[in-house]
Amino acid sequence: MKNGIISVVLIWFSASFAICQKQTTPDWENPAVVSINIEKPHASFFPYESADKALLNRKESSGNFVSLNGTWKFKWVERPSDAPKDFFKPGFNDASWDDFQVPANWELHGYGYPIYVNIPYEWTKSPDPPKVPHDYNPVGSYRRTFTLPDSWKDKQVFIYLGDVKSAFYIWVNGEKVGYHEGSKLPAEFNITKYLKPGRNLVSLQVYRWSDGSYLECQDFWRISGIERDVYLYAVPAVHISDFFCHTPLINDYTDGLFQLDARVRNLSDKPAGLYVLKAQLYDPVDLRKPVLTLEKQVAPAAGAEDSIRLEQTILRPKPWTAETPNLYTLLLTLTDAKGNISMATSVRIGFRTSEVKGGQLLVNGKPVYLKGVNRHEHDELNGHVISEELMIRDIQLMKQNNINAVRTCHYPNAERWYELCDQYGIYLVDEANIESHGMGYEPGKTLANRKDFLPAHMDRTIRMVERDKNHPSVIIWSLGNEAGFGENFKATYSWIKQRDNSRPVQYERAELEPYTDIYCPMYARIHDLLQYANKPQKRPLIQCEYAHSMGNSTGNFQDYWDVIESNPQLQGGFIWDWVDQGFVKTTADGRKFWAFGGDYGPRDVPSDQNFCANGIVAPDRSPHPALAEVKKVYQNIGFSVLPVTGEVELRNKFIFRDLSGLDAAWEIVSDGKPVASGTLPLPAVKPGEVFRFKPETVNFTRIAGKEYFLNVFVKTQKEENLIPAGHVIAYQQFALSDVPVYFTTESKPGTVVTQDQDFITLSAGNVKARIGKNDGLLQAFEVNGRNMLVSALEPEFWRAPTDNDFGNAMPYRLKVWRYAGAHRELKNLTVNEKDGVPQVAADLYHPDVSSQMKIMYQLKADGSLAVDVSFIPGSGKLPEIPRLGMHLCLPEEFNAITWYGRGPQENYIDRLTAAFVGLYSDKVENQLTNYVSPQECGHRCDTRWMTLTNGAGEGIQFFGKPLFGFSALNYTNEDLTQEKRGSMHPTDLTKRNFVFVNIDYKQMGVGGDDSWGAPVHAKYCILPQPAEWGFLMKPLTK
């Protein structure tokens, strides 16, 4: 097999040269031409001129570096036939061309338009590989001059282009250098022979679409241009050309093996003479003295490249894991016969083993959970051009929210990302830039079985592995995404296993075939996980995508992890996905919103609307409410209270780190207010072990009628790995009492009943409740003559559809409930007495659903109004109910909201693990969750009471019997209801001059298995069954 794979690689490297000599087909439509004159791929490193600069490892400080980022002359045309001719010649006049920044995506700067689609190819409904459009296939031509440093005389000079999408030609000083296609990985060319002293010209011509675009059919914005850094670097003729540092743990994972395979190349036409390659390894903390020094002589012949191996065992190294990212600095120097350093470089490496053994993924011999997310490279302003600051922000948010793994969906990321993940501790599944989803998966159609696309499959795989092979954060290679399965993936899998057997390889479309070491399905349901786990397996199940978090989603996430943590061969997964892929855009009047598919280009532009907005953070990285749930479920400490002793038990669920450096803080709250608290430092509790402590409650006396909770938090003592001091990494709430009744139900005389033509009026003191005689609804709730209501208290069965609701056809399936509350008939309206107090009973009939509702109103002597409701569904076959409750509108001035219930973030019946019962306050205008497209939002579960007041403290307090759910927005349920998913932005909403309040008995969950069919789990649905509930409205006055 090895010889076969090597033959494939030789074909891959040579095919373009054999074919391009005699061809009429453009290179950008010829899958056999992947590149021309490109350098072989190699590991990420930079060639410095000294050891000191190598240890500093900032290429910008090196004399061997010249950045070509910045302003280029630029000409954009719509089709290849219109591209300028001879523009690459030094004498060409580009004065009329635009100035354009590199790196940048064209479409975000007015050149063409971004297109968002998920599965199809954006340029055609009928793909015919390798053909791409000629009538509309934009081409960008670039020109820029640079000055060659005098010190680069006699050196070899290379140009590095970090990511060009999708294909390009390059010229230097008017001479054609080469061609390359395939984005998301660097292309390097040796341009030495094309250079002259002083000023030089480099020119590029970039094509939006090429045959390579057939392998870049990913679920993200289809945009183009130069997306990463461009620079020149110089090396001596004899230099280190590549190295592969193997650093597994050995001897029962206690010692480390340092094994370096390096290549030294001689690009001169003379024998190199004697050189020495020295490797020095420095401790993670102390860079003053190396813990290892190895060296070997090398003398490559003219034009040749020699291989060197250096090897030594390191006793008890500090291992690398995502929890303990210990990095050693490897310094390589190449010295000539006189002892002069001709080249030096350094990288940071980690001693780490990743393997599948016994049906589990092991890191350093221990089974790990991948608590992961899928992350596209996305910037709300700059598209696919990602700054280091944004990378660090992403990692910081991930670390602070207990996310330990990222799948680089669906392409290799920028090189700096890997260095940062090494440094701060993130496990990576590194994915090849291969997706041909638009071709489908049928064996006869998928490009996975097209021989002419084998060179491209191999090229993208080889370049990824060679670039990223030295990063300890990369624990798994991925062959690609949604590209079918066939012979090409068998070849790429086999090549990786031959080249690097130190990491597992995964590929979702291989399913349970032998060509994936991990079973990594997408969107498996809980019963699928259990079915797999209940049989002996040789491979772990780690979902490459799950918990589709589109809009108001990520429900039943805790349920997933209850199953995962109960079955050893289930080891986590990667949430789809990290960030909403929205671009900042403004309305005509200057209001900002996040654009999605269909917001650019002509009206008939292909689009999958807001299906690009599936993140647990917004495009600006502000957290969505679901992120709190993810943090809670992913937390690495378990909590319990021992019923006999009252002790709190903490279980260390980390795999590699103890609990030293952390504090346990606790508080006992009474009706949401702390009455006792304490903090203690945690000892070095080892992974899997427990620590117990008993909260000190000597000064605490429990009072009857109060509700008590014990809240426990584990916090950092000091800043570590982007996590600040005092940051809560894990938490739990324990109920210490039952839910009490928060209002008196005693009935006292004092309520007066009066009637006129329109109303039955209940009066008690300065409070009046008016029930309409024509509809049986509470039409007015007056205090001192002022009506506290803007509209009546009405039945409500509908919620604005979420993205998941649209996916499972809820607006169609449950449409019978949409207007059922508004379509009602008053069948009977009576006045009677209950416990000596008048009561008005309204019998309503809802013909849309053949259902009955009885509403009973009773005004207490203190002016509070009890509302009791009974619901009897029709006998016919009715679907589940989106919401069961009532709504009303209050004056806009009642914009201060305080509640005692779950919070602070919005929560739903299937997404409330992270929402503690507590006392919270906010403004109504903040209750609308800023999803990219409007939908149901702002709900809070298990509410005991809630107030809406103005600045003077006037308003209404609502009490549950004992609990209710609510939302309070400046928008109605109908305002938030779209007829089609992704047809609105928040800027399309008109803020109402009132507060729309939902008082819910129940609302169904939001779901989260996927957004294209999966229903809300049955236990989180509202079945059409008889129900009774109630609440109380109490006026608040000065």
Q: What is the pLDDT of residues 622-642, one digit of tens each?
A: 999 999 999 999 999 999 999
Structural domain spans, the chain:
27-238, 248-349, 354-632, 636-735, 752-1036
Phi, psi angles (nearest 5°) of residue 950: -95, -175
The span from the CA of 229 to the CA of 161, in Å, is 6
Identify the pLDDT of residue 701. 84
Identify the pLDDT of residue 765. 93
Phi, psi angles (nearest 5°) of residue 456: -70, -40
User: 31 in helix, strand or coil?
Assistant: coil
The span from the CA of 91 to the CA of 89, in Å, is 5
Cβ within 8 Å of residue 323, ≥6 positions away: 404, 425, 654, 655, 656, 657
Residue keyed to tokens 């009474």: 670
Indicate the angle between helix axes 454-468 and 487-499, nearest 10 degrees.
30
Q: By C-alpha distance, which of 400, 807, 409, 378 is closest to 576?
A: 409
The span from the CA of 262 to the CA of 264, in Å, is 7
Residue 66 — very low, low, confident or very high, per pLDDT cuts 50/70/90? very high
Cβ within 8 Å of residue 345, ≥6 positions away: 45, 46, 47, 48, 54, 240, 331, 332
The span from the CA of 837 to the CA of 8, in Å, is 90
Identify the pLDDT of residue 206. 99
Identify the pLDDT of residue 41. 98
Instruction: Check pLDDT > 50 for residue 571.
Output: yes
Identify the pLDDT of residue 5. 44
For the domain made up of 354-632, the CATH class stated in words is: alpha beta
Q: How many CA atoms lie within 13 A of 834 on its CB side?
A: 14
Instruction: Check pLDDT > 90 for residue 835.
Output: no
Identify the pLDDT of residue 696. 84
248-349: CATH, from 1.25.40.10, 1.20.1740.10, 2.60.40.10, 3.40.50.300: 2.60.40.10
Identify the pLDDT of residue 746. 60
Mean pLDDT along residues 954-971: 98
Mean pLDDT along residues 606-616: 98
Length of the chain: 1038
In angstroms, what CA-CA distances link 497 with 350, 415, 502, 845?
21, 23, 8, 69
Q: Report which DSSP code applies to 39.
A: P
Active site residue 431: no
The span from the CA of 801 to the CA of 461, in Å, is 42
Active site residue 545: yes
Strand-pair partners of 796: 885
Mean pLDDT of the chain, nearest integer: 96
Q: Choose between 21 and 683: higher pLDDT.
A: 683
Identify the pLDDT of residue 1006. 99
Token pair listed for 601: 């280009």
pLDDT one-digit tens code per residue, 490-548: 999 999 999 999 999 999 999 999 999 999 999 999 999 999 999 999 999 999 999 99
Token pair listed for 354: 């990743």
Determine what percent of the chain is predicted with pLDDT higher than 70: 97
Do 449 and 217 form a contact (C-beta atoms < 8 A)?
Answer: no
Do 658 and 652 form a contact (C-beta atoms < 8 A)?
Answer: yes
The span from the CA of 103 to the CA of 72, in Å, is 10
Identify the pLDDT of residue 16. 40
Identify the pLDDT of residue 698. 64
Can 248-349 and 636-735 be said to share one CATH topology?
A: yes
Q: Which helix (H) or strand (E) holds 587?
A: none
Instruction: Check pLDDT > 80 for residue 61.
Output: yes
Flag the least confident range among 245-254, 678-687, 831-840.
Answer: 831-840
The architecture of the domain spanning 636-735 is Sandwich (2.60)
The span from the CA of 527 to the CA of 653, in Å, is 25
752-1036: CATH, from 2.70.98.10, 3.40.470.10, 3.30.1280.10, 1.10.3720.10: 2.70.98.10
Question: Whole-model pTM?
Answer: 0.96
Flag the least confident range among 11-25, 345-359, 377-391, 882-896.
Answer: 11-25
Instruction: Check pLDDT > 80 for residue 14.
Output: no
Q: By C-alpha distance, which of 955, 980, 981, 978 is closest to 968?
A: 955
Q: By C-alpha distance, which of 805, 375, 372 is closest to 581?
A: 375
Q: Report which DSSP code applies to 965.
A: E
Q: Report which DSSP code applies to 712.
A: E
Do 329 and 281 form a contact (C-beta atoms < 8 A)?
Answer: yes
**Is 27-238 assigned to CATH 1.10.10.10?**
no
Is the alpha carbon torsion for 17, 19, 23, 28 positive or negative?
Answer: negative
Say if residue 166 is preceded by a cis peptide, omega within 30 of 0. Answer: yes
Flag the least confident range among 14-18, 208-212, 901-905.
Answer: 14-18
Q: Supply the DSSP string of 49-92, one letter for each residue.
A: SSHHHHHHT-GGGSTTEEE--EEEEEEEESSGGGSPSSTTSTT-
The span from the CA of 732 to the CA of 638, in Å, is 8
Say if residue 904 is preceded by a cis peptide, omega within 30 of 0. Answer: yes
Instruction: Check pLDDT > 70 for residue 12.
Output: no
Instruction: Check pLDDT > 70 for residue 21.
Output: no
Q: Which of 466, 508, 545, 906 is catalytic?
A: 545
Q: Which of 122, 482, 707, 906 is catalytic?
A: 482
The span from the CA of 718 to the CA of 610, in Å, is 40
Do 754 and 746 form a contact (C-beta atoms < 8 A)?
Answer: no
Name the amino acid, one letter, at 447. Answer: L
Residue 836 — very low, low, confident or very high, per pLDDT cuts 50/70/90? confident
The span from the CA of 600 to the CA of 115, in Å, is 7
Q: Supply the DSSP string of 457-523, one letter for each residue.
A: HHHHHHHHHHHHTT-TTEEEEE--SS---SHHHHHHHHHHHHH-TTS-EE-GGGTTSTT-SBB--BS
